[in-house]
Amino acid sequence: MDRLMLLETFTVALDEGSLSRAARRRGVTQSAISQQIKQLESMVGHQLLHRTAQGVRATRSGELVYTHAQDLLGGFDRLAAELNQMQNSVSGDFRISVNSFLGRRIIGPLLIDLDRDHEGLNIIMRVEDRLVDVVRENYDLAIRSGRIGETDGVGRRIATLETVLFATPAYLDRMGRPEDPSDLTRMKFIQHHEDQTKGFFTLGRDGIEVQAPIRIGFTADDPDLIMHAVLNGSGYTRAPSFFVEEQLRSGILEAVLPGWNAPDKEVFAIYPSRHAIDRRRDLIIDGVAARLAEIRARGRQSVTRPITA
C-alpha cells in the first residue's frame, strides 16, 4: 500500500482519537484502519499507538512519526496544488516545432495572438521541415503534415487537408493536359520529402479510386523551393488547396486532372506524454484544429471548388 496513504491513516486516527471515528472519516472499516496502522508499524519497526478503551494515543515513536507525517502530507498537498496550477496556467517557456508551410500560414499567426494574450507565456517556435523527436530534443509540441516520423512521443491526427495537383498553364501547354490518371507518367512530379509517394497517387472520382502512376523529377524539403520549381515550369506538384487557391483563381496556376480528387494530407500533433496535462499545448492544438476545419469548410463552400478538386 502507498506509504503516504498509511501515514494519512495514522494521522487521521490520532486526530480523531479513535479507530472507529477514523474509519468513518476514511470511508473504510475499522478493521481496515487497524490493518493499515499495523502495516505502518511493521514498516518503521516501532509501535506507534497505545490502544485503550477510551481510544488511541501516540507512543513516543508515534509522536515523532506524526510530526514528520504532517510535514510530508502537507508538502505533498502543496506539490499537488502547484502542479495543478502549472497544468492550468498559460505561462512559462513553451517549445514548439512546425514545418514551414503550416508555420507561416497557420500556426505562426495563431501563436503570435496567443503570446499577446498571455503576459507570462514565452513561446519558442522553430520552423523546420525535418521530423523532430519531441522527447529527445526537448520539445513540448510538434505539428506536422504528411507523417509523424520516428519519435518516442505520442502522435494524434488533428485535421486533414484537401489537396490539389497543379502546374503552370505554360507547362501544361508544353506537355499536354492529362485527361486520364495514366497520362501523368509523361509529366515530372515535384515531390516534397514528406510525401513519400512510392511511384503512385490514389485519385478518386465518383466513388471510384485508381492508382495513378507518377514520375518523380525533383524532391526537396522546402515548400518555397518546390513552388519555385513549379513556377519555373519544371513539373507539377501537390499541395493543400487553400495554399494555392488565389493562384488557381487568377490563372497563374492550373489544376491538373481537375475532375479527380487528390489524396488528403493529414496533420498530426506530437507531444512527449499522453498523460501529462498542459493547458498551453491544448490551446495550441485546439486552435490549429479549429482553424484547419474552418479552412476545409470554406473550401467546400467555395464556388471555385471544382477548379481545385
Q: Tens place of pLDDT for every residue, the chain, 309 residues?
A: 588 889 889 888 888 888 998 898 888 999 999 999 999 999 899 999 988 878 888 999 988 998 888 888 877 766 665 555 555 567 788 999 998 888 888 899 988 988 888 888 889 999 988 888 888 899 999 998 877 766 677 888 888 889 999 999 999 999 999 999 999 999 999 988 766 667 888 899 988 899 999 898 888 878 889 999 999 999 999 998 988 989 999 999 999 999 999 988 889 999 887 667 788 888 889 889 888 888 877 765 553 444 333
Q: Rounded CA gap, 9 and 166, in Å?
A: 70
Range of the domain at 244: 163-263
CATH (domain of 69):
1.10.10.10
Note whether 188 and 235 are within 8 A (CB): yes
Among 87, 113, 143, where does a domain finish?
87
Quote the number of domains for the chain. Answer: 3
Residue with cell 506507534: 48
In the numeric block, the cell 518555397 is attached to 224
Query: Does residue 306 lie within any of the structural domains?
Result: no
Do 167 and 255 fall into the same domain? Answer: yes
For every residue of 148-174, DSSP letters joined together read --S-SSEEEEEEEE-EEEEE-HHHHHH
Are 119 and 130 in a shared domain? yes
Of 125, 169, 136, 134, the C-alpha closest to 155 is: 134
Q: Is residue 309 part of a domain?
A: no
Whole-prediction pTM: 0.64
CATH code at position 173: 3.40.190.290
In a domain, 200, yes or no: yes
Furthest C-alpha separation in the chain: 103
